[in-house]
Amino acid sequence: MNSMLTTSQQKTICSQLGRVKLQLLYKASIHGFTGAAFHQRCDTRCPTVSVGYNASGHVFGGYTTQPFSQSGKYVHDDQAFLFTFTGEKLLKHLVTSPANAVTMMGKYGPYFGEALILGYGSNVVYSNPGKHYNFNAAEMHGNDLKLTECEVYQVEETTELEKPWRTINWESEKKNELMESIKIYKPTVSSVTHARVLLIGPVGAGKSSFFNSINSVFRGHVTGQAIAGCSTTSVTTQFRTYPVKAGREGKPLPITLCDTMGLEESMEAGLDMDDISSILKGHLPDRYQFTTSAPLRSEASGYRKSPELKDQIHCVVYVIDACKVSFMTTKLEQKLKAIRRKVNLMGIPQLVLMTKVDEVCPLVSQDIRNIYRSGYIRTMMQEVSTRVGVPMSCVVPVKNYSEEFELDPNCDILLLTAIIQMLRSADSYFDERSDRLNNIEIKLKL
């Protein structure tokens, strides 16, 4: 039997369930569009993923840990969920009434509460949003209730993982090697002692948490110098420049992380577009208090009228929450692209920092070293690449410290690798500036 689920869709479903694979049990076009045919193939099998397909191109279904039967009773399952695909993206709808998660009816196909039945008499879907599961019917199946196919897969545990698609050294010595590389880094332009990196991103994406995490790595314990937290509006209200020290009494490292207000959908809320230009050009002083009523003016206290290269931004990093990639609004996407256009005009290198990777993929939650073995993480990175408009090579996944007391060497390696990429990008900017100045000098001599 050939599966109708694409390889990518199967990987996306499996990423929600742990280290598993899908084994096709039942295919309606082969075994019959009847409840009896479904139960003959699937009773007592669990966990399972049931998938429906319609002529409108929708792919949707449900997951349950409970074995199917024909008892006529509701079965409790607090891990059950319904889902639908938009392209290769999975939209997940958790059960709202676990006691009524699955119904065991002999004459029907897969029966999820009173919300969704695949095979409600021949090849028809029964759909009742809000009955033990909340979903939007148009989004779920486009209100096309005629099935063209129905499949049921058994979920099987596996120790197999994808081969790493990006190499990274997890040896304990690697952390010390990365830290030393950062400590001895020197910008290629003699007038600059620190690479200045600007962090930009939506509210709650983890900009301040990233600085705290990097600071923690070099301090040897989890710290919280930058204000971070959960809020619908930006916790950061000032422009802050954070030098990182090599230990409690150590010297400042040759990198400065610049934090800003979070981006919000409305052009009138969050970080002002004009303030971004002022930051990039080096006009903004440290601790400048942002205001949504007006951008920075040249007469403001601390305003640098003639900023030097050392005051300017040398690399821009967009911080994106992996959990919210698929739900990024059009307005926010447009705002990010407008910022990118400004940055492009100034020739500043750009990266994307994808945070909270452990929250979006169970494999990574189990072991952060699975980050480049996870097909789901790769899919998320590809989507971020497309939405923000940067090459895949410029997307760097990390896990910030948020609830831990102690450091994890593997998390540290990811965080330090991100800093190395920022320094390399800054070097590209310095090289470009140097080449430009050299060309000007040559022309003047001629």
Which residues are CB-contacts of 293 (< 8 A; sequence separation ≥ 6)?
none
The closest of 206, 139, 153, 224 to 405, measured between CA atoms, is 224
Strand partners, 146: 124
Task: Give the start-to-end residue ranges of the domains of the chain.
Answer: 7-157, 172-445
Read off φ and ψ for residue 133, nearest 5 degrees: -145, 140
The closest of 244, 241, 242, 426 to 317, measured between CA atoms, is 426
**Residue 56: its pLDDT value, please?**
92
Say if CB 115 and CB 97 are below 8 A apart. Answer: no
Task: List pLDDT tens digits, range 163-191.
Answer: 888 999 999 899 999 999 999 999 988 89
Structure tokens at 194: 């620190």
pTM: 0.69
Q: Three-state DSSP class for 235?
A: coil
Which residues are CB-contacts of 98 (< 8 A; sequence separation ≥ 6)?
76, 77, 78, 80
Task: List pLDDT tens digits, range 35-91.
Answer: 999 999 999 999 999 999 999 999 999 999 999 988 888 999 999 999 999 877 899
Encode the chain (446 residues) as per-residue pLDDT tens digits. Answer: 788 998 889 988 988 888 788 999 999 999 999 999 999 999 999 999 999 999 999 999 999 999 998 888 899 999 999 999 987 789 999 999 999 999 888 888 999 988 999 988 778 889 999 889 999 999 999 999 999 999 999 999 876 566 888 999 999 899 999 999 999 999 988 899 999 999 998 888 899 899 999 999 999 988 876 655 444 444 556 788 888 888 777 788 999 999 887 777 665 555 667 778 888 998 887 777 766 555 666 666 667 888 899 999 999 999 999 988 877 888 888 888 889 999 999 999 999 999 999 988 878 888 999 999 888 888 889 989 998 999 999 999 999 998 888 999 999 999 999 999 999 999 999 998 876 666 555 554 54
Separation of alpha carbons 375 and 199, rounded Å: 27
Q: Give me the CATH code for the 172-445 domain, please.
A: 3.40.50.300
